[in-house]
């Protein structure tokens, strides 16, 4: 941004992070409106007339980590700021199992419109931990309970292999998760009060194949007497 261009009103920096959060949110909305997917922390600081170190410390506290390019994902800033400011009744969620399916779900931005915002993703594979995927830094399982607690998470997406699903689901429930969107092909045994939605993409495929078979049969020429 050029000096003076589109700058937020200058003045003393708000003393509390909550005060600055409103500034981050407003500025970030403008960036999103311009189609920006990322912003460098120093540009965010400059755009708001804030000290770079203050902005870096705020982002760290909020769990908004710079990506490999050193920039912050604007969608992540939006999600965190909206949650912290209580702007939208979205359900914040964690996702466990950043494999092929987990990564696809975590990258999809459309879930926000349906009431779910993924705040953090977890995996137990050391090769994935610390790497960025779909705007999220993959976190180790040791941080699961803390993140659930800090962000008051009640919803979880489970995309681990079947054999790992029950142990993770139990851990999620103990940490306070009340609803699990389960993609693992296993029936979860959970305390009363925890709701589970088992998702079977393959059930839809089986139906489609059956419909195709029937359509093919209808297309066969009538049998001759």
Nearer to ligand NAD, 62 or 184 (CB): 184
* End-to-end CA, the chain: 81
| Site for ligand NAD contains 201 (CB under 6 A) | yes
Nearer to ligand NAD, 19 or 99 (CB): 99
| Site for ligand NAD contains 101 (CB under 6 A) | yes
Contacts of 42 (CB under 8 A, 6+ apart): 52, 55
Nearer to ligand NAD, 41 or 102 (CB): 102
Q: How many residues does the chain have?
A: 225
φ and ψ at residue 144, rounded to 5 degrees: -55, -55
| Site for ligand NAD contains 47 (CB under 6 A) | no
| Site for ligand NAD contains 212 (CB under 6 A) | no
Instruction: Kindly state the smallest distance separating residue 182's Cβ from ligand NAD, in Å.
Output: 8
| Site for ligand NAD contains 199 (CB under 6 A) | yes
| Site for ligand NAD contains 130 (CB under 6 A) | no
Within the chain, what is the greatest distance between any pair of CA atoms? 93
Q: Are 77 and 37 in contact (CB under 8 A)?
A: no
Contacts of 90 (CB under 8 A, 6+ apart): 82, 83, 112, 115, 116, 117
Q: Are 135 and 162 in contact (CB under 8 A)?
A: no
| Site for ligand NAD contains 159 (CB under 6 A) | yes
Instruction: Kindly state the smallest distance separating residue 116's Cβ from ligand NAD, in Å.
Output: 16
What are the contacts of 206-209 at 24+ separation with CB within 8 A? none
| Site for ligand NAD contains 134 (CB under 6 A) | no
| Site for ligand NAD contains 196 (CB under 6 A) | no
Instruction: Kindly state the smallest distance separating residue 109's Cβ from ligand NAD, in Å.
Output: 19
Q: How many alpha carbons lie under 13 Å from residue 211 in its C-beta half-sphere?
A: 6
| Site for ligand NAD contains 46 (CB under 6 A) | no
Q: Which residues bind ligand NAD (CB under 6 A)?
A: 96-102, 122-125, 128, 141, 159-162, 164, 168, 183-185, 199-202
């Amino acid at each position: 941004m050029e000096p003076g261009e589109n700058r937020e009103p200058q003045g003393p920096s708000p003393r509390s992070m909550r005060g600055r959060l409103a500034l981050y949110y407003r500025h970030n909305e403008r960036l999103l409106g311009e189609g920006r997917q990322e912003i460098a922390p120093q540009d965010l600081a400059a755009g708001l007339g804030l000290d770079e170190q203050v902005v870096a410390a705020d982002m760290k506290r909020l769990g908004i980590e710079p990506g490999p390019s050193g920039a912050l994902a604007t969608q992540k800033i939006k999600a965190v700021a909206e949650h912290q400011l209580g702007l939208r009744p979205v359900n914040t969620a964690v996702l466990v199992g950043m494999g092929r399916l987990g990564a696809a779900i975590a990258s999809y931005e459309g879930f926000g419109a349906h009431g779910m915002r993924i705040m953090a993703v977890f995996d137990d594979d050391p090769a994935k931990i610390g790497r960025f995927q779909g705007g999220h830094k993959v976190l180790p399982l040791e941080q699961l309970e803390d993140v659930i607690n800090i962000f008051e998470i009640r919803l979880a997406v489970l995309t681990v292999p079947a054999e790992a699903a029950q142990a993770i689901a139990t851990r999620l429930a103990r940490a306070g998760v009340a609803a699990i969107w389960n993609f693992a092909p296993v029936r979860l045994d959970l305390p009363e009060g925890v709701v589970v939605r088992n998702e079977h993409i393959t059930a839809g495929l089986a139906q489609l194949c059956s419909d195709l078979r029937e359509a093919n049969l209808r297309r066969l020429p009538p049998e001759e007497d």
